[in-house]
Amino acid sequence: MKMISTLLITVLYTVFVQNLVMSAGLGMSEAIRLAAKPEKFRSLAVMITAFSVITGTICGGLSRIPAIATLPFAGRAAVYGGVLAAVYLLAALLLALLKPQDRRLRGTLGIAALNTLVYAVPFLNEIAAYSFAESLFSGLAAGAAFVLAAAVIGQGAKLLANNSNIPPIFRGSPALFLYVGLISLGFLGFTGTSLFQ
Amino acid sequence: MKEQTPGFRVSFLKSAVLSNPVLVQMVGLCPAVAATTNVRSAVLISAALCLDLIVTCVLASALMKRIPRAVRVALYLGIGLALICPLLYFIETYTLMNLGLSTKVYLPLLAVNAVTALHCEKVAVKNPVRTAFSDAAAVGLGASLVFLIIGTLREVLGSGAFAGIDLDLPISLKGLSLPFGCFILLGFLAAALQAFSPYLRQAQTREPDAAQPQPAQADVQDDLWSDILEAEAVSNERLAALDEFTERLIGGEEDAQ
């Protein structure tokens, strides 16, 4: 029971309290890209979740090996980056063998794997000292956090585009930045931080 | 030499200012939001981004044109790590600089930043080395400029200090140190850029543009990162019609309707 509650807390913390997209801008470019291509929402979200889980879990396992655990931070960063590159290349190879004609999906694969959100998951697992199971759920939650953020940004972009009351110099990226800022402020509410202390 | 200077000026104006990677194309947001809470971090992140961007773009243009795209994007990560990890190790080991946790984590993340991948795939592998270098330098400077402005504003207004020196300001806007404050600052900076864009475009048209980068257009549909450009990049012509950018952000949904 304690294990389940710990995993649940890990998921809720990663999705809401420390939503990686909204609180750190991780994967923000990809989230905005999804606003333009909603038909890719499912495939990109699934891929990002899968890469987060696989990379986070492998790196979590590797970080328990004494030779890697004792490396300086820069060394561990190189190891995690190597793992990410290897996982991506393996996935690209599998996709080329299984679906050789699907070039669009291969393009999406690169964007889903090589982004700051997926690469940040092993670091966050390390900082939080997550166990193997927690690392697994943290990866899943990172994917869920991305889906939530991308959905919110997509809906916001649609509303902003249809709003003719926005002054001309704020149309486009300025309005979207302000919108994302306000949503990020909303997510800050989950942390209990006060701006007036 | 005399002919190259105006070319770079035009290239700089276009790639660094009018199509600023952070404010207009909306890429490279992760380092802007999370790692530029003070001037020192902003300088460090800017230097690392410029180094990564320029070296990767030059190598991509010189050596990677015949390598399959799927392998190429993994190589960008490899080059980024080969540059940034030793830099991080050097700073930690041989200098007394105490990097904050966020700067320490976000430095390696620059190896997978969208700015590098976008410009390597869109410009570097389709153009000669000189053009790739020119574009990478201009884009790097443009992003660095935004990081430095944001870093300065966030430290001065959010913490009441500049480069660690206490300014003893009567008030501090703590929110600016937080991610939401950075997004709001970025929004106002982007709006300021849009307000000045018409004047900058006029200045650009007065310059000779023979040496400015001309990304190859072939195979655009299959480009790995073309979707990002379709959604986020505002071309020089489209800057004239600011509305189009937002419309394109939701173009897919409108088509579906």
For the stretch A54-109, pLDDT in tens is 999 999 999 889 999 999 999 999 999 999 999 999 999 998 898 887 777 877 88
Yes or no, beta carbons of A172 and B81 under 8 Å apart? no
Q: Is the ipTM of this complex over 0.85?
A: yes
Residues 73-102 of A with CB under 8 A from B: 73-75, 77-78, 80-82, 84-85, 88-89, 92, 96
Average pLDDT over residues B171-182: 87
**Interface with chain A: mutation pick from B22, B183, B223, highest number of A CBs within 10 Å:** B183
What angle (nearest 5°) sits at the alpha carbon of residue A19, between those of residues A147 and B231?
50
* Nearest partner of A37 among A160, A153, A166, A172, judged by Cα: A153
pTM of the model: 0.82
Q: Which residues of B touch A171 (CB under 8 A)?
A: 194, 242-243, 245-246
Whether A68 contacts chain B with CB within 8 A: no
Which DSSP string do the residues of A16-42 spell out, in sequence order? IIT-HHHHH-TTHHHHHHHHH-GGGHH
In a domain, A163, yes or no: no
In a domain, B146, yes or no: yes
Task: Tell me which residue range forms the domain holding A79.
Answer: 30-148
Task: Give tens-digit pLDDT for A119-134.
Answer: 999 998 888 888 888 8
Task: Give tens-digit pLDDT for A1-48.
Answer: 777 888 888 788 777 777 888 888 888 888 887 777 777 888 888 899
| Other CB atoms within 10 A of residue A4 CB | 8
- Six-digit token string for B168: 């003893």
- Lookup result for tokens 């443009």: B142
In a domain, B10, yes or no: no
In a domain, B6, yes or no: no
Average pLDDT over residues B197-212: 68
In a domain, A123, yes or no: yes
pLDDT band at A110; cut points 50, 70, 90? confident
Count of structural domains, chain B: 1
* pLDDT of amino acid B97: 67
Element counts in chain B: helices (H) and strands (E): 11, 2
In a domain, A131, yes or no: yes
In a domain, A88, yes or no: yes
In a domain, B229, yes or no: yes
Average pLDDT over residues B162-185: 86
- Lookup result for tokens 């190429």: B72
What percent of chain B has a predicted confidence (pLDDT) above 90?
A: 35
Task: Give tens-digit pLDDT for B13-66.
Answer: 888 888 899 999 888 888 888 888 889 889 999 999 999 999 999 999 999 888
Yes or no, beta carbons of B194 and A169 under 8 Å apart? yes
Tell me: pLDDT of B107 over 60: yes
Q: Would the CA dihedral through A29, A35, A40, A44 be positive or negative? A: positive
CA A125 to chain centre: 13
In a domain, A10, yes or no: no
In a domain, B255, yes or no: no
Count of structural domains, chain A: 1
Whether A121 contacts chain B with CB within 8 A: no
In a domain, A69, yes or no: yes
Q: Which residues of B touch A177 (CB under 8 A)?
A: 26, 183-184, 186-187, 190
Would you mind telling me the total number of residues written for chain B in this entry? 257
Count CA atoms closer than 13 A to B35's CA, side-chain side: 29
Task: Tell me which residue range forms the domain holding B134.
Answer: 15-162+173-239
In a domain, B106, yes or no: yes
- Lookup result for tokens 């044109």: B65
In a domain, A185, yes or no: no
In a domain, A15, yes or no: no
Yes or no, beta carbons of A81 and B76 under 8 Å apart? no
